[in-house]
């Protein structure tokens, strides 16, 4: 339905804007605190916000009717989210410019589209293949250091972004298959609770202190309200109303927003070749997804 697609795009745009800000505020906070400390505060705020949102929407009532299969899905997603989210924030912490991290993250829509072919039976034409190749070439340009030695071939953090993209693809496909049966609020709360528990385990295991700078706390509160709360819920809702690949093309624009935000917040800009590579990833994913949309329209018309 056309109205459903419009809803899907609106949710995807809101999620993209919120997610773009998550790069900025998480980077600012991670510049001042360690990853476990960051996780405890970040996911404490997001869990509280999502819980209140779920309480208001009465989504928590679904817990009473969960089947054993759905419980297994939530547990599986919990473990996947721990791996996916930890690798994401680790890459944000390691790579100096969050815009570079965001552009490299455009490997995710390519992998998601490929996963859609294998798991969801979505079609992939020659134009889409060209777009995927362009996006991957852009990611290579961004990460390439100019060195010939294998250990120095890419900038630090590139491999972690690649792992994150792969894990995020698996997680998104699981969510896409089951999101119509499990509410976005419940999925978001499940994600946040698992991450909070994992953060506390790492926090106490490494003997960290709860004391953090006030500036870091402010960045955590703002960033966690936008990222793990608003962004995740709206992206899950976009999956309910549109194809995962179409939602991903909207999310691709986050690199532009992160680029602007990083310059305003940190006064940093990617190197020239990284900027060119970043734009190639955006163009590649746009070509890939728009081509798929054209194929879908032809199929629906027939």
For residue 266, pLDDT beyond 90: no
Which has more pLDDT, 296 or 270? 270
For residue 223, pLDDT beyond 50: yes
Cα 184 to chain centroid distance, Å, stands at: 15
Q: What global pTM score does this model have?
A: 0.81
pLDDT at 80: 92
Mean pLDDT of the 269-279 span: 89
pLDDT at 87: 93
For residue 150, pLDDT beyond 90: no
For residue 301, pLDDT beyond 50: no
* Phi and psi, residue 154, nearest 5°: -125, 155
Mean pLDDT of the 214-229 span: 88
Percent of the chain surpassing pLDDT 90: 27
For residue 145, pLDDT beyond 50: yes
Provide the phi-psi class of 207: left if phi over 0, else alpha when psi is between -120 and 50, else beta: left
d(CA 302, CA 297): 9
d(CA 258, CA 263): 8
pLDDT at 84: 93
Mean pLDDT of the chain: 84
Among 118-122, 137-141, 180-184, 266-270, the range scoring the smallest mean pLDDT is: 118-122
- Where would I find the H helices in 57-125? 68-94, 98-104, 107-120
For residue 242, pLDDT beyond 60: yes
Q: Which residues contact 123 (CB under 8 A, 6 or more apart)?
A: 117, 292, 295, 296, 299
Q: What is the DSSP letter of 269?
A: -
Q: What is the tens place of the pLDDT at every residue in 8-18?
A: 888 888 888 88
Mean pLDDT of the 139-145 span: 87
pLDDT at 28: 93
pLDDT at 67: 87
d(CA 190, CA 82): 11
pLDDT category of residue 225 using cuts at 50, 70 and 90: confident
pLDDT at 213: 94
Q: Which residues contact 140 (CB under 8 A, 6 or more apart)?
A: 277
pLDDT at 120: 65
pLDDT category of residue 244 using cuts at 50, 70 and 90: low
For residue 157, pLDDT beyond 60: yes
Q: What is the tens place of the pLDDT at every residue in 33-62?
A: 999 999 999 999 989 988 988 888 888 888
pLDDT at 27: 93
pLDDT at 9: 80
């Amino acid at each position: 339905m056309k109205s459903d697609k419009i809803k899907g795009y609106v949710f995807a745009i809101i999620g993209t804007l919120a997610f773009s800000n998550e790069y900025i505020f998480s980077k600012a906070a991670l510049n001042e605190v360690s990853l476990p400390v960051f996780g405890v505060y970040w996911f404490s705020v997001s869990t509280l916000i999502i819980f209140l949102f779920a309480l208001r929407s009465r989504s928590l009532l679904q817990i009473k009717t969960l089947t054993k299969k759905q419980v297994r899905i939530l547990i599986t997603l919990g473990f996947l989210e721990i791996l996916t989210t930890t690798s994401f924030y680790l890459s944000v912490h390691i790579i100096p410019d969050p815009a570079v991290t965001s552009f490299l993250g455009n490997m995710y829509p390519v992998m998601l589209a490929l996963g859609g072919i294998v798991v969801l039976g979505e079609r992939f034409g020659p134009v889409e293949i060209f777009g995927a190749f362009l996006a991957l070439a852009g990611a290579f340009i961004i990460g390439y250091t100019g060195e010939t030695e294998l250990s120095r071939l890419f900038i630090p953090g590139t491999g972690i972004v690649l792992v994150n993209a792969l894990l995020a693809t698996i997680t998104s496909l699981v969510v896409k298959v089951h999101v119509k049966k499990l509410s976005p609020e419940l999925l978001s709360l499940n994600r946040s609770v698992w991450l909070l528990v994992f953060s506390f385990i790492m926090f106490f295991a490494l003997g960290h202190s709860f004391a953090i700078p006030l500036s870091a706390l402010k960045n955590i509160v703002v960033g966690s309200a936008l990222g793990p709360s608003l962004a995740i819920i709206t992206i899950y809702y976009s999956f309910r109303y549109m194809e995962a690949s179409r939602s991903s093309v909207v999310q691709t624009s986050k690199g532009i927003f992160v680029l602007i935000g990083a310059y305003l917040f940190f006064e940093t800009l990617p190197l020239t070749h990284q900027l060119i590579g970043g734009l190639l990833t955006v163009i590649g994913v746009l070509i890939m997804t728009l081509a798929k949309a054209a194929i879908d329209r032809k199929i629906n018309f027939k």
